[in-house]
Structure 1
């Protein structure tokens, strides 16, 4: 009698089905989310023979929160044997900034733009110098919405790339949310992300098709995407404009 074929702990098909299901339930990252001005993103994939996780970080400014409450890193987490539903979960939002000893970072009335008298902000407890010079932002391709003010999302974009790492999750942040000892497999700072608003699903997107195949097999060489990356904030001008 021929030996039974070993059943994989998870398959690429199952991974893509979970991602597509999350997209249908609005629990997969939409980089042109009308409530969130996108700033930067990162994807980290973890695996061993029995578990997989995809963690997609979306850093931006949610104007419904306002001020420091609107500055967030949202971790969308997918995988098998999850303790929460795939994608969004209230426990996976990271708040990163606070006022420096100078005082209120933002205007008191709307909490949407920098106070002109404040020159520093705390990010993870570290003071970072802020610029009020329009030329600084123009040099980074940031066209100010109101030339007399620096909006919070413009400030955040201006802090890239020099301070990007301080807005990203630490390894400890992620390890608290994935199975113990699960090793990092692939990490992407830029990739081709599906345009959900135009009905492109993760399961039809080259990035996630190749990533799912690589996760199933454990073969990183499978992951050789050819499509142009698009996760830079400038590619999603509708984000935050609802």
Structure 2
């Protein structure tokens, strides 16, 4: 089964609008299907890093959106992977009353238990909310023990604004730390190739990873992917398998510094 640029852009538009595609499992009428798109402005996720991975051969294609950040409602740092393509093994959560089918997979970087351990215990109520204790030396990220830098000036040098209210000791926020890692050691909070391939065919060739690109708000529904240069170029790369077609004319703006997130 061959594919073309039009089909790729149509599938991206469906995800952009949260509509499941024809490639989803049929399931039962009561099943719920989620089709997520990259969102750098989510109120519940303080975004740190993001990338786009492209895979294709003569009959199959996949776009994988990767985003890392601090989930302020779940008190965890996570990677979110969103899969769009024609050969995805969609994650399914099965329950007696219905199944939940999605194109998203989440990978825990720092779990709630570790955040509870490192959270500041001294001072007024807000001083103990999502701030890392002054005496914390190490933090566990996945299975790695990482040295913690508690010097707020090193964060501000990277453009990370430390909370200026109810924070007299200039303690580092949970989200600040994830952004600091993205700026200083991005591999530490990035998905591995094995993790990305969990829901796609093991033998599909990887074409490229795009680290910097022009992003348009996922909430601007007047400007779907099919009308954006970024995704038009991606569709061309997937159909031609030629990565030299990545020649964007628009300035990259996908850094977390350009988008407000995690504010709810």
Q: How would you bin the TM-score normalised by the shorter chain? A: 0.7 to 0.9
Per-residue CA shift, 1:105-134, capped at 9, x if unaligned? 224787622122212111231111112212
User: What's the counterpart of residue 60 of structure 1?
Assistant: 69
Aligned partner (choices 135, 139, 143) of residue 121 of structure 1: 139
Q: Structure 1: how far apart are the matches of 2:110 and 2:118?
A: 10
Shift of 1:188: 0.9
Measured at CA, do residues 219 and 160 of structure 1 come closer, stay the same or move farther in structure 2, by a change above 3 Å?
closer
Structure 2 CA distance for aligned equivalents of residues 18 and 165 of structure 1? 29
Asked whether 1:169 is paired with 2:171, we answer no
Corresponding residue for residue 47 of structure 2 = 38
Deviations 1:124-168 (A, max 9, x none): 311111122121111111111235331111111112333210111
Cα displacement (A) at 1:240: 1.0
Q: Distance in 2 between matches of 1:236 and 1:65?
A: 21
Give the root-mean-square deviation of aligned CA atoms: 2.4
- 2:245 matches 1:222: yes
Using the TM superposition, give the Cα deviation of residue 223 of structure 1 relative to its aligned residue in structure 2, in angstroms. Answer: 2.0
In the alignment, structure 1 residue 94 sits paired with structure 2 residue 107: yes
Query: What residue number does 2:77 align with?
Result: 71
The secondary structure found in structure 1 opposite 2:117 is coil
Deviations 1:65-88 (A, max 9, x none): 01xxx2110001111033328xx9
Structure 1: gaps of 5 or more residues: 1-7
Aligned twin of 1:3: none
Cα deviation for residue 222 of structure 1 reads: 2.1
How many residues align structurally? 228
Alignment CA distance shift 1:214-1:91 (3 Å): closer
Q: 1:17 aligns with which of 10, 17, 20?
A: 10
Question: Larger deviation: 217-226 or 182-191?
Answer: 217-226
Change (3 A) 1:153 1:196: same
Q: In structure 1, how many angstroms separate the alpha carbons of the residues matched to 2:112 and 2:37?
A: 31
